[in-house]
Structure 1
């Protein structure tokens, strides 16, 4: 198959929902460039959030820079093409809304806390916005569904994508001339996305809730040598949120006392990852299927002629 055909297949298959959200991001960026005063009403400005509470929702869809809107729209289209068919459009949109809103709430609380600690007013009046928090949460979804899938050309496994993104963001923040306002958005977006997928996402086909598997535990975001330190801390949150006893690996999932918590089936979590891997393999094999179909059509007249003879 020609490279032109491969490029065409790569740029097709985007879902209608993701294309609609991409249009919102692009028009939001254009609106801010045309009328910068809009930023005062739509971006998250902690000092004005109390009267303008809607900016906890709108801030996530306002990109202030060109590279921000480009990375957000491209990431949304390609990640959405993978996740939305597996989750369903309703669940995909629900995930975006929850991660966006709760990320804004956490950023707001952090900014207010930093102001009271440092008494610097720039924490109150710095406009914060961007889709990067949702995008980092969607990367956690990719980590959950196809953790061992490698992406070319660096052969990076999907399970490390959220961690690598956060590491790069932290490193870049040390060299930035201005405060890295995007950093708390990325951190909270990743964490909120993981909490929702770990404990609360309900699967329509089974009714199961969350993903209690060890392969999706909080410590998997960190290198192997750090996990003995991270696991005891993470187990505290496991017990708080769902009553999973520390060191429980009996395959029953989360428990309350000795009773299994409804919907916490690690077998179903494994099945979801297998479905995600199959969906990706089918998408990557589309080119080969199209090529085989075209070849069969050209060979069909020859077969008919031989049968007639």
Structure 2
């Protein structure tokens, strides 16, 4: 009980320091939680695929279901997730883009989940899929993990776990839900909802989200569909997803991929701009390239420093003038002759030395 009170105080403090949009969403979740204590009202708040079609047609559950929770502990977790997500994504985008993202992934994810249940019913005749309850923010959490992967792919999720990065978070959450479903702890609705939210959020951010410069989507290679999977299977996934993408482009469902290239470092330089990516995306790739280059240079510094001999020999005796006609004099002349063309090709003045020895 003591821990529950401490968690509640911490969550309330986070909400008080959040933005107006986040506080509004948190108030909506709390309101639905309190309404849920009314007897038999949960059937009016939870999305059930069989009740989206006639004669019920409860389409409003597409809005209420993602924010409806029946457990107080899970409610606190949802409020914490909303606070963190709002703190990261709202400044990165803007209020309008953030609200559009919330609406698209919730309505689109639940609609796709209902279509999957209809398909399972018609193919396998499993009537139970028509009455699977879908509610809670676990699907929206997976969608936000996709947004975090896009914004900060190489940033660690927790400082104590530097190997766990945001680019691995979506597939990790999906594996957790699959494992708990196989063990019988969760129902299959968790797997369906989390997978559909991941797909819908990726499609929206990849092709349709409007950026501040008027472009749409994010065609970065680090945000491709194959990047969600382990590197061992990425080539196979890339071929399959590329074929599906070309089919969707031919049917005008998805727009054709267009990239942006800026040439020039100053205001007087030539700049070529094509719609497709933001300067922030280019800066993100630039930072990754600089980091990779520094790592390679650090690896090359050590062998190079050990291979090159020292130009000064402390134990060597003072050099004596070479006698004329010696072999060393002949080799030095040969070197001078060989380096003569390089002086002409580089158009640099020849270096003249004067021998002061008598």
TM class, shorter-length: 0.7 to 0.9
TM-score, normalization: structure 2?
Answer: 0.65
Separation (CA, whole Å) in 2 of partners of 1:22 and 1:119: 39
Q: Deviations over 1:229-265 (max 9, x none)?
A: 11011112433223349xxxx8769xxxxxx996313
Query: How far apart, CA to CA, are the structure 1 residues paired with 2:20 and 2:278?
Result: 32
2:273 and 2:207 mapped to 1: Cα distance? 11
Contact in 1 for aligned 2:211/2:278 (Cα 8 Å): no
More divergent stretch after superposition (131-140 vs 64-73): 64-73
| Partners of 1:93 and 1:159 in 2: CA distance | 23
Question: 1:1-309 alignment to 2 at 5 Å?
Answer: 11=14, 13-32=17-36, 34-50=37-53, 51-150=57-156, 151-155=158-162, 156-177=164-185, 179-204=187-212, 206-239=213-246, 240=249, 241-244=254-257, 263-265=275-277, 269-271=281-283
Alignment partner, residue 286 of structure 1: none
Q: Deviations over 1:141-192 (max 9, x none)?
A: 1111111111222222111111211111111111125523211111111111
Scaled by the length of structure 1, the TM-score of the pair is 0.75
Contact 1:43–1:58 (CA under 8 A) maintained in structure 2: yes
Structure 1 counterpart SS, 2:218: coil
Q: Distance in 1 between matches of 2:206 and 2:21?
A: 24
Structure 1 residue 272: deviation in Å? 6.7
Residues matched between the structures, number = 256
TM-fit CA distance, 1:14: 1.9
CA contact (8 A) 1:252 1:266 kept: no
2:41 counterpart SS class: helix
5+ residue gaps, structure 2, are 1-9, 263-271, 288-358
Which whole-Å CA distance do the structure 1 matches of 2:273 and 2:105 have between them? 24
Distance, in Å, in 2 between the alignment partners of 1:20 and 1:273 is 35
Judging by fraction of residues, say which structure has more helix.
Answer: 1
Contact kept in structure 2, 1:57 and 1:104, CA below 8 Å: no
Q: Is the contact between residue 109 and residue 200 of structure 2 (CA under 8 Å) also seen in structure 1?
A: yes
Contact 1:143–1:161 (Cα < 8 Å) also in 2: yes
Give the stretch that moved more between structures: 103-112 or 93-102: 103-112
Q: State the alpha-carbon separation in 1 of the partners of residues 283 and 155 from structure 2.
A: 15
Q: Which moved more, 1:127-136 or 1:266-275?
A: 266-275
- Structure 1 residues 69 and 180, CA gap change in structure 2 (3 angstroms): farther
- Show CA shifts across 1:67-88 (max 9, x none): 4323222111112101101111
Consecutive unaligned residues in structure 1, runs of 5 or more: 1-6, 254-259, 276-309
Corresponding residue of 2:297: none
Q: Distance in 1 between matches of 2:236 and 2:171?
A: 17
Structure 1 residues 83-132: Cα deviation after superposition (integer angstroms, max 9, x where no partner):
10111111101100010000110111111222223333322223211222
Partner residue, 1:299? none
